[in-house]
Chains A and B, each alone.
Chain A
Amino acid sequence: MDLSRRKRFVQNGSSPISAVRPHLEGRTEGSSAHTLEMAKADHRFGQRDGSDQNFDYMFKLLIIGNSSVGKTSFLFRYADDSFSNSFVSTVGIDFKVKTVYRNDKRVKLQIWDTAGQERYRTITTAYYRGAMGFILMYDITNEESFNAVQDWATQIKTYSWDNAQVILVGNKCDMADERVIPVEKGKHLADQLGFEYYEASAKENINVRQVFERLVDIICVKMSERVDTDPSVVSGAKTTRLSDKPTQLPQNCC
């Protein structure tokens, strides 16, 4: 069998050397694709001004919640408008980028999708710090995922910046027959936690865009509040740079 394999090799006319090229090629390819992308973006908006990279603000969002509540599907629905019934557990973290036009501004969203499984918690919590907004998701057909919301909220409090905005989303609202968490219960919990609340379905594309847009709006409002009403933040902290000492991070975590 080994012999035949080797032969096939020769047949294909590929030398073993080509097997090592991936790295180099992959890199150049990616980067050139990227530059091209930017050139294109510039071109499209008729701006050669590199500082305006086709967007005004960049928001980082994070989707969290128990495993299999539909975080990835939610993101895919929003970013790609696609949906697949098959379940692929997210490995660690992942993100997608989408630019939306809200309130006369182009907002580039970097949306992080996290693995719900505990084994990746070390990695996922590391990304809480950067997130300006959270989508905390549970599955309306899965009580356990709902019961965990409180814990997730605690995680947000523990690891995120204190002014991060959160929206609670009950996903899979298309599955009315299997619903175990009534709307009121979700709403109530959201009120308690001080989050906004939506029920959504990635599958049926219900409220997906709305959730993201609402979150963007909330963050925009916070941003103007922060900058326009409290200019001391801007001028006073002019010279502050973030320090790289993770003082605010819990030291003992895993």
Chain B
Amino acid sequence: MSDTMFGSGNHQWVCPNDRQLALRAKLHTGWSVHTFQTEKQRKTQVLNKRELDIILSVIHRAEQLDLIEQHRIGRLMERLENMRRSAVGNGLSQCLLCGEALGLLGTPSVLCFDCCKKVCTKCGIETACNQKRAQWLCKICSEQREVWKRSGAWFYKALPKYIHPEKDSFMDRRPVIEREEQPVARSVPITYTWAHRKVDSSESDSSDSELSDASSDRKTFVSASIKRRHSALSESSGSVPLTPLQSILSSPSRASFLSESHSSLGSERSSLAPAPEDEDTDQGRTSLSAPVLRRAGSQRSSSSSSSSAPATASSATETGREKNDNDDDLDRAFSAASASASASALPPPSRKEEEPDMEGYDSDDSTTLGTLDFSLLYDQENNALHCTINKAKGLKPMDHNGLSDPYVKLHLLPGASKANKLRTKTLRNTLNPVWSETLTYYGITDEDMVRKTLRISVCDEDKFRHNEFIGETRIPLKKLKPNQTKNFYNCLEKQLPIDKTDDKSLEERGRIMISLKYSSQKCGLVVGIIRCAHLAAMDANGFSDPYVKTYLKPDENKKSKHKTAVKKKTLNPEFNEEFFYEIKYTELSKKTLEVTVWDYDIGKSNDFIGGVSLGINANGERLKHWFDCLKNKDKKIERWHTLTNELPGSGFND
């Protein structure tokens, strides 16, 4: 029965069919399977922090767009209202719009199809309807129809939420909006929407003058209507259509995944508003993500200290606004403010390059990893490979704030020594970084050019954690022609399995000998790190300073980390250290042992040499080793394992 109701197996993820829906309806259980979920099922469906962040960033983006749209519709409405207001005739004996006397002696008139009022032929528009006979509309009704179309009201059968142009000037100070609706626009001739094609030029001229009349009229009514607007606003905010986010939130059961964040989303919604609210948002965010790092929390709380900067920013914007209604001045004030807020974090030239990129805004996207723009030049004479990293676009956000601190790393494959690793500087808080840096490999031979592949990876620098990999792209150097710059504009991809592209690298990381013993007497697992061999050289001197870390995962208490001593300047270190994990035998089979080898560096980040995971999810020799250990209690089993280049699990980011 439950299968019929909820589907089984794979079908669990397929939406219910008609019959299921009908059944559910009969049983009054609701439409969704979720109402019947067990707690466990529910848990698996709860979105994790990263997913939430991604979704919230999309929602945020959508809200910005919505807001602009609401303003656009607001302007459409305002224009329509102005037309109505400036109509002077009665629509019977006079033209509804211009008030000219109609009738036998006066101007010829037509009847508006929509409002059934009379207008003169100048103020009417003939529409070629799909019906054969022509139809006349007064300009107001024509505009009304146009507004209906443009706002999407034709579809939703009602006007969507909109924001009246004047309102936000004192209601919400959103920097985004402030500029686009500078009064300047009003003094410029406006073409009515219906003036597009039907109306001849003389008419559109008259409409312009009509409009400027209307706008001068407006000044008088503005003050009168301010009060009305005020109340209109509160009314409108009370009767707005639901944004999807609101509707998710409005039904409590739906919002199970967001429930914690309800309040924070509230501030999120208004997060276009100036900075002081940011703090709330931050805290809200932190609280909505239960498993957030303590460190991250403290990092955030320190942000309150810097929140004064944006506060001045917004006040600067305001003063700029009060003093002059001039676009340019406001621009300056605004950019100055934003510059002071962003301080030196981002070099101004790179901002310049980013901003005019329209497409960049529209198509930035959290599901892709981003694109990388770079060029390569092999200078045959000097045996140099110049890699110019220009910029990246639409990088996947890696940090809590929806941004990343990206840098680019270059490797020549095969081979994983520090000598062939190059990197750019890190740019802070951007998804569209512009590095414009040239990194050069010297001593590249023609043979290298045939044999080697350049791996370009973009990573997110994290102060408190391991740097996170964002995406990479690989260029076989044989694609390049000597002394010829080749430009690339590649989509970043997920980390490619190394063994596919170069089998050698697997072996090049080296091997490790591990012993495993489950001691039933001590009731725990004894992990022995015996030695490593042929480790990859990570230091320029051709050696590494290796040490080994072990974790037993999943690792609830984060206490499972053990480290060996560092062996200096060797590729074949002998450790002979044993670590003990107290654990029940039954629990052990669910665990995975992660062993990683690192090159210790003073003053720099330690380099990952290689790793190996032993556990039920491993395969080949590693699985066998784990199995043999489980099967043979109290027996020490020693095996060699080849180190792989993958950082096992996500554990290193925790």
Contacts and interface: CB of A to CB of B under 8 A. Distances in A.
Interface of A: 1, 4-5, 7-9, 11-12, 14, 16-41, 47-53, 56-60, 66-67, 72, 76, 79-80, 82, 84, 86, 88, 90-98, 104, 110, 113, 117-123, 126-127, 129-130, 132, 144, 148, 150-152, 154-155, 158, 161, 163, 222-229, 231, 233-235, 237-238, 240-244, 246, 249-254
Nearest to B496: A86
A31 B314 CA distance: 13
Nearest to B428: A18
B32 A241 contact: no
Given A32-B175, A242-B239, A132 B155 contact: yes
Contacts of A97: 65, 362-363
Interface string B257-281: 1000000000000011001001001
Nearest to B37: A254
Interface in B212-247: 236, 238-242, 244-247
Given A56-B150, A152-B15, A93 B58 contact: yes
Interface stretch (B87-95, B441-449, B598-606): B598-606
A40 B356 contact: yes
B502 interface: no
Nearest to A76: B368
A26 B157 contact: no
A113 B55 CA distance: 12
Interface string B601-617: 11111100000000000
B12 interface: yes
A163 B155 contact: yes
B65 A119 contact: no
B299 A223 contact: no
Interface of B: 10, 12-18, 21, 29-35, 44-45, 47, 50-51, 54-55, 58-59, 61-62, 64-65, 68-69, 72, 75-76, 79, 113-115, 127, 129-131, 141, 144-145, 148-150, 152, 154-161, 174-176, 179-182, 184-185, 188, 190-191, 193, 197, 236, 238-242, 244-248, 250-251, 253-254, 256-257, 271-272, 275, 278, 281-282, 299-300, 302-303, 305-307, 309-310, 313, 334-335, 337-338, 341-343, 345-346, 351, 354-356, 358-359, 361-363, 365-369, 371, 399, 401-403, 426, 428-430, 463, 491, 493-494, 598, 600-606
Contacts of A76: 365, 368
B17 A150 contact: yes
A225 B154 CA distance: 10
Contacts of A20: 299-300, 302-303, 306
B426 A12 contact: yes
Contact of B157 (A4, A24, A52, A233): A233
A211 B207 CA distance: 39
Nearest to A252: B30
B241 A242 contact: yes
Contacts of B239: 241-244
Contacts of A34: 64, 68, 176, 361
A254 B383 CA distance: 63
Given A16-B299, A25-B429, A31-B175, A240 B278 contact: no
A154 B69 contact: no
B170 to A, nearest CB: 18
14 contacts: A1-B598, A19-B299, A22-B401, A29-B342, A32-B338, A35-B334, A40-B358, A93-B58, A118-B13, A129-B242, A231-B141, A231-B145, A252-B30, A254-B253
